[in-house]
Chains A and B, each alone.
Chain A
């Protein structure tokens, strides 16, 4: 059922470094691409989202880069902090069906 492939599965970054997570999708009908952050014991929470009519969106330290022709998008976390340690999910949706990637467990070492 997974139509969104996410990599890497896990990522370890030093404090202050850049974290990069990549996703690829198959269905060209997808028209909304959010990233969710999930802490242990909590539900996912929206971090940032993009629509395919733009190639980049930045909110604070978080940036989404979107490549429509390659059907790929990525999340960049600048100046990564230990508090960013969590599991990140990319997703893609069309109408009422949102498909999630398998997740990336990010650990930011102090």
Chain B
């Protein structure tokens, strides 16, 4: 059973640039959620994708967008990067969209630094 994998593991961008982060969900999981974890803080919910459609969104601006592909892998795109976007971005997969029906399986994250 393959776990959740994310890429890249680390990246550095400058303010105003755009970034794409990728996630492969665990085998058998059709739902992917993205979280932002600032240093010393808990993960904050960005959005969730289920069957290629956005299925819930946290309090993040529209410059945070995503995609889910037929194989359930997912991308997180952030446009017009700001310094405060520097964080660990976590992808979590689950076998169904309801977070309250079971655990989330997290990847190791992509650490983004915006200079």
Q: A93 on the interface (CB 8 Å rule)?
A: yes
Q: A89 on the interface (CB 8 Å rule)?
A: yes
Residues on the A chain within 8 Å of B90, using CB: 43-44
Contact with B along A71-107 (1 / 0, CB 8 A): 0000000000000000001010111111111110000
Interface of A is mostly: strand
A interface residues, tally (CB under 8 Å): 28
Alpha-carbon separation in the docked complex, A103 to B45 (Å)? 15
In chain A, positions 19-59 with a C-beta closer than 8 Å to chain B are 31-32, 34, 36, 41-46, 49
A104 to B: closest C-beta gap in Å: 10
Contact with A along B11-33 (1 / 0, CB 8 A): 00000000000000000000101
Q: A69 on the interface (CB 8 Å rule)?
A: no
A1 to B: closest C-beta gap in Å: 5
Told that A96-B48, A98-B104, A100-B43 touch, could you supply 8 new A-B pairs with CB distance under 8 A? A4-B42, A41-B108, A43-B92, A44-B104, A46-B103, A95-B97, A95-B99, A97-B45
